[in-house]
Amino acid sequence: MDLGGLPDSWSWVSLQEVLSEPLVNGRSVKTMEGGFPVLRLTAIKDGKIDIGESKEGEWSAEQAAPFLVRQGDFLLSRGNGSKRLVGRGGLVGDVGNPIAFPDTMIRVRPSDELVSASYFRLLWDSPVVRRQIEDQVRTTAGIYKVNQAILERVALPLPPLAEQYRIVEAVEEQLSRLDQATASVAAAQARASLLAETLAERAVRGLVGVSSHPDPSVPLDEIRAATSARAGKRWKPTDPIKLADMKVPEGWTLASLGDLAWGNGYGTSVKCNYEGTGAAVLRIPNVQGGFIETSDMKYALDASLDLSEYYVRKGDILFVRTNGSPALIGRAGVVEREMELAFASYLIRFRVNLDFVEPWWIQLVTRTRAWRRHIERVAASSAGQYNLNAKRLAELPVPFPPLSVQREILDCVNSEIPWISRLQDVSNTVVKRSDSLRARILDRAFQGGLVQQHPADESASALLARITADRAARPKPRRTRRAADRAAADRAPRALASQTAMTDPAPEPTAVPAFAVQQEFEL
């Protein structure tokens, strides 16, 4: 990668060169009430660490000691379902009570002799660093991951220490104005989302466009019998769970999504990229605003694979089943036409009985508060990823009127949606422009173009040489008597074991059990 030129007083350095101590991965800890506190991955917010985002873990203070965080530490994400978020980090401020970091994070301790903590925080979020990380991350089961070796090689533009402080002041002044504008746009987005949510809520409660003479509702037993006949012998009815906030209008039917669906399943796990020559595969980014967006497609690498069993049909509903954000779990998109497009394993497909329910009605129900709260509550979290399975979705309740009323309500909702969508589109456009402007400010700052260089500043190369010489000249710390005693105690059993092995005869071989199974483990 061409990293570009720098001012004469700057130097390119690797992350490893500016560390005060090696990178450290956190530790996986189960939740236990009353245990030692540990941060959650969600503590990383906007370049800072929210100490309040924590849980109590099943470990002691002594076990947590190697993983404690302190002011000035930088914690970053080891993995995420989004390449844009993997490796993102935050600066630790005032810690207060002792707290540790989890296995989903890596701790970075830059040397304050070489780099300002505030400079490092801004630099880590800049395009020059993000491009390097996103080019090097690895993906496993849909999760992008970064490791210590990748991070240590990240090249950083290092200006003189005094200039770092000037850069931070200039960047924060520029970004503060941008942040004010972004906050206004975020408020507009929140209002648009609330309007859409309220509209869905009123529609599903029968408060929008309901006919005064609706057709009779269909009994649940009849629905189950019809779905079973379509699905086959393996299909079983699913009783809907109860959601406290869900109100079912009089004369409507309440069924589970499983009762209304004659088929469901997960997508393909075939490897894909933009240059693949095989079948096109729908992914999480293609589920947008209740629709299936096909402008950003990836393709199977192996063109010989037959993925026709995963092709979507008109009326299919695709649910997002895994993501780093709980707000995106369970989001649904409806397939509007027949398409020779497969869908990826991060999605779940439901095919509903069109004799009783419109797919768009299901999508409307998924946007209600009752559904969203339940899904976000039951989504299981693993390695920073939230997951949802088909069984959880199948048991969710769907209140619905007869088909004619569904269509009447959907027509009313659709008449209101365009102006809400326009508000959301304008807000999204402004956010994209804001992100682009932020990137340009950071790019300019870390190329040396935002503040003037001062000839009197000690150059980065001179600073590095001086710090390296100072460290080499420092006497190595002497071990304490206690440390020496522990080392001797550790060596004693090994020496005794070695001596015993040389003098004692070899033991008789142990007989192999009759039902022994040889196992090979990958090292």
Same domain (yes/no): 136, 238: no
Mean pLDDT along residues 312-327: 90
- Give the helix/strand (H/E) hosting 117: helix 117-124
Quickly tell me which residue has 């560390």 as its tokens: 19
Q: Is 408 part of a structural domain of the chain? A: no
N-to-C CA span, the chain: 33
Q: Which residue has the higher pLDDT, 200 or 359?
A: 359
Q: Is 429 part of a structural domain of the chain? A: no
Q: Is 127 part of a structural domain of the chain? A: yes
Q: CB-side exposure of 215: number of CA atoms within 13 Å?
A: 12
Q: Quote the pLDDT of residue 522.
A: 36
Same domain (yes/no): 372, 461: no
Contact of 382 with 338, CB cutoff 8 Å: no
Same domain (yes/no): 271, 336: yes
pLDDT band, residue 488 (cuts 50/70/90): very low
Q: Distance between CA atoms of 393 and 363, rounded to whole angstroms?
A: 12
User: How is 469-501 classified by DSSP, letter by letter?
Assistant: HHHHHSPPPPPPHHHHHHHHHHHHHHHHHHHHH
Burial of 126 from C-beta contacts in 10 A (0-12 / 13-18 / 19+)? buried
Residue 213 has pLDDT above 60, yes or no: no
User: How is 363-418 classified by DSSP, letter by letter?
Assistant: HHHTTSHHHHHHHHHH-EEETTEEE--HHHHHTSEEEE--HHHHHHHHHHHHHHHH
Q: Is 346 part of a structural domain of the chain? A: yes
Same domain (yes/no): 79, 149: yes
Q: Distance between CA atoms of 361 and 315, rounded to whole angstroms?
A: 11
**By mean pLDDT, which of 105-119, 127-141, 230-244, 377-391 is the weakest?**
377-391
Q: Which residues contact 287 (CB under 8 A, 6 or more apart)?
A: 293, 318, 320, 331, 332, 333, 347
Tokens of 333: 């998109």
Q: Distance between CA atoms of 309 and 306, rounded to whole angstroms?
A: 8
Residue 353 has pLDDT above 90, yes or no: yes
Mean pLDDT along residues 10-36: 95
Contact of 146 with 405, CB cutoff 8 Å: no
Contact of 299 with 274, CB cutoff 8 Å: yes
Q: pTM score, two decimals? A: 0.64
- How far apart, in Å, are the Cα atoms of 238 and each of 254, 258, 355, 360, 430? 12, 6, 19, 21, 45
Residue whose C-alpha is closest to residue 297's, from 346, 331, 343, 349 = 343
Helix (H, G, I), strand (E, B) or coil at 281: strand
Q: Quote the pLDDT of residue 298.
A: 94
Q: How many CB atoms lie within 10 A of CB 372?
A: 18
Q: Distance between CA atoms of 344 and 268, rounded to whole angstroms?
A: 5
Contact of 11 with 467, CB cutoff 8 Å: no
Q: Quote the pLDDT of residue 212.
A: 58
Q: Is 55 part of a structural domain of the chain? A: yes
Mean pLDDT estimate for the chain: 86
Same domain (yes/no): 227, 370: yes
How confident is the model over 133-152, as pLDDT tens digits? 999 988 776 688 999 999 99
Q: Quote the pLDDT of residue 509.
A: 42
Same domain (yes/no): 130, 221: no
Q: Is 506 part of a structural domain of the chain? A: no
**By mean pLDDT, which of 21-25, 268-272, 425-429, 501-505 is the weakest?**
501-505
Contact of 125 with 171, CB cutoff 8 Å: no
Q: Bridge-partner residues for 24, per DSSP? A: 107
Q: Is 343 part of a structural domain of the chain? A: yes
- How far apart, in Å, are the Cα atoms of 164 and each of 116, 119, 449? 7, 6, 13
Q: Distance between CA atoms of 310 and 341, rounded to whole angstroms?
A: 8
Same domain (yes/no): 154, 267: no
Q: Distance between CA atoms of 171 and 122, rounded to whole angstroms?
A: 8
Same domain (yes/no): 29, 91: yes
The parent domain of residue 116 ranges over 11-160+453-468
Same domain (yes/no): 226, 82: no
Mean pLDDT along residues 337-360: 94
Q: Bridge-partner residues for 317, per DSSP? A: 334, 350
User: How is 150-189 classified by DSSP, letter by letter?
Assistant: HHHT-EEEE--HHHHHHHHHHHHHHHHHHHHHHHHHHHHH
| pLDDT over 70, % of the chain | 88
Angle formed by the axes of helices 161-204 and 403-445, nearest 10°: 170
Domain CATH number, residue 357? 3.90.220.20
Contact of 216 with 402, CB cutoff 8 Å: yes
Residue 460 has pLDDT above 90, yes or no: yes
Same domain (yes/no): 394, 463: no
Q: Which residues contact 124 (CB under 8 A, 6 or more apart)?
A: 47, 74, 76, 89
Q: Distance between CA atoms of 409 and 209, rounded to whole angstroms?
A: 5
Q: Is 423 part of a structural domain of the chain? A: no
Q: Which residues contact 52 (CB under 8 A, 6 or more apart)?
A: 43
Contact of 495 with 489, CB cutoff 8 Å: no
Residue 223 has pLDDT above 90, yes or no: yes
Q: How many domains does one find in the chain?
A: 2
Query: CA 194, 199, 203 angle in degrees (round to 5)?
Result: 150
Same domain (yes/no): 261, 362: yes
Same domain (yes/no): 267, 395: yes
Q: How many CB atoms lie within 10 A of CB 200?
A: 23
How confident is the model over 230-270, as pLDDT tens digits? 998 889 999 999 998 888 888 899 999 999 999 999 999 99
pLDDT band, residue 517 (cuts 50/70/90): very low
**By mean pLDDT, which of 103-112, 148-157, 230-239, 380-389 is the weakest?**
380-389
How many residues are there in the chain?
523
| pLDDT over 90, % of the chain | 62
Q: Which residue has the higher pLDDT, 182 or 488?
A: 182
Q: Quote the pLDDT of residue 515.
A: 35
